Structure 1
Amino acid sequence: MTLLKNFEIALDYLEQNLEKPLDIDLLSQLTSIPLQQFEVAFSALFHTNIDSYFTILKMLDCAQKLAFETRVSIEDISHQAGFGQSMEFEQAFFNAIGQTVYDFRVKPDWGNFFSRQQPLNTLAKGLNNVQDFSNDIQIIEFRSQRLIAIRHQGEKQYLSQTINALTAWQEHHHINHQMSRSFHLMKSLDTEPNSNVDVEITAVLNDAQYDALTASIAASEHFYVTTLPKCKMLQLPHRGCDIGLEDKIKFLYGVYLEREGYQLADIPLVIERCGINQDKKMVSTILLAVN
């Protein structure tokens, strides 16, 4: 079964369980898509993150109830959608539909309502039009790496601060960050303006560094040790902006995996940041773990 077909199982489940909280662990089990790849793969294929998708799905259902089930109170609709507080529901509805719940109940703006469904109507479209990067892909045997890590969960605009925090930690412990391999372990992709990202910012620790810094790391509130295990990886180089990087990630998940018969391994998508080239462009390598 293809990745898209597996995700259809998740989409069907969400449509039938709008009142329940989003459970990525359960969706991963239902679809057999590895947990550590689930959210990134969803965003790569569907151009939105799964939280946003599920929210708009719920709000469209609530809009139908507000317009046509007028005997059902706003509080009951909020409860049925899984919201604990009406204020939380009202804000989510306004963000998704563009009208307050009260205005929509009295005079729904159907033109705006249908325009808000466009993201759902264009899911996973356009994969046939992505550029083919097959000639640049290599299959490598990745060697296990011990990493010092700090996790960024929040707005992308503050990601550089987290990266700088790791650099400062390395400098404080006399580790030359320019000589250390640096990996971003992607838990999510920033597919939308002002969206939050979830990524582990990491750098390789050799045995001597690990032995010397074990106590310091254990006492830290923010830094910890993790490991990238030995595995087979698809390696795809990239030079330039993040938009081109996203196109290559989309190609890997949406086209290359199915065409070449690979299955995802339960290891996060990895972006190795290699530095700046002579043209002042960021040089990166995409590493996708497969079986």
Structure 2
Amino acid sequence: MHYRQKLHQVLSYIDNHLQDELTVEILSRQACLSKYHFHRQFYLAFAINLADYVRLLRLKRASYQLAYRNEIRILDIALESGYQSAEAFFRAFKTSFGQSPSSFRKQPQWQPWFDKYRVLTQLRGQRMNERQDETTVKVVDFAKRQVAVLEHRGAPELIGHSIARFIGWRKANNLSPRVSETFNLVYDDPQTCEGQDYRFDLCAAVDVETANGDIEDNEAGVKLREIPGGRCAVFRHIGPDDNLRAGIEYLYGPWLAQSGEQLRDFPLFFQRVSFFPEVGEHEMITDVYLPLR
């Protein structure tokens, strides 16, 4: 256990220093392990090569910036991702995902992208399971919100297309996250729901008076809904979405059984306090709400 904790310290260090130099010497010192054996120890513990792990994390943020932040130049994304030139970034990105950065920006192919990141998602989920007892749950009174909703229906791997459409609608209606709270309604568990039946809503808080009590018909398919007020259990998750599952399972399992509370007829929902890629994945803040009677 002590040995694994040392290696988990390395994962945390990588998350916090993605824009810095990450040599074997630097990372092995973080784990207090010999640099001559560190590569093999890392692979045996996590079933992924150290260099591949770092590259995937760097390219993940680049992917989000390409898909959702058209105002950022590809060269700037390349430099921020630790590449010395656009050409080097082009080669690494196309090797990893089969698309050039410019092609991905125009029309991202999310299915192969998710397949590539499956190992990373599993690794991070396993890491969070080992820290489940750190989850702190409170019961609060949630004030109702009127929200603009875009429904995602279909495979979780394709949610990127819905996110892009919703971002476009928010920009056109001056509802950026800086002025409008961001929520997600989480109807289904992506690991137990058939892809085509998966339901997940993207939401932005709106002023009903400004919207004249409704939202005009639009090509994006955004509609006006309400997140009802009431009692909720809530915990704050800091870090990537890959790690959310352990906290949710704790909420539905041990916490609910021990609390004596009963569930209300409304789905689990998230409030995105800060999110990727505006901040690093390790800095993301998500409040997870479970409606109670």
Q: Which has the higher contact order (CA 8 A, sep 6+)?
A: 1
TM-score by length of 2: 0.50
Question: TM-score normalized by structure 1?
Answer: 0.50
Q: Which has the larger radius of gyration?
A: 1
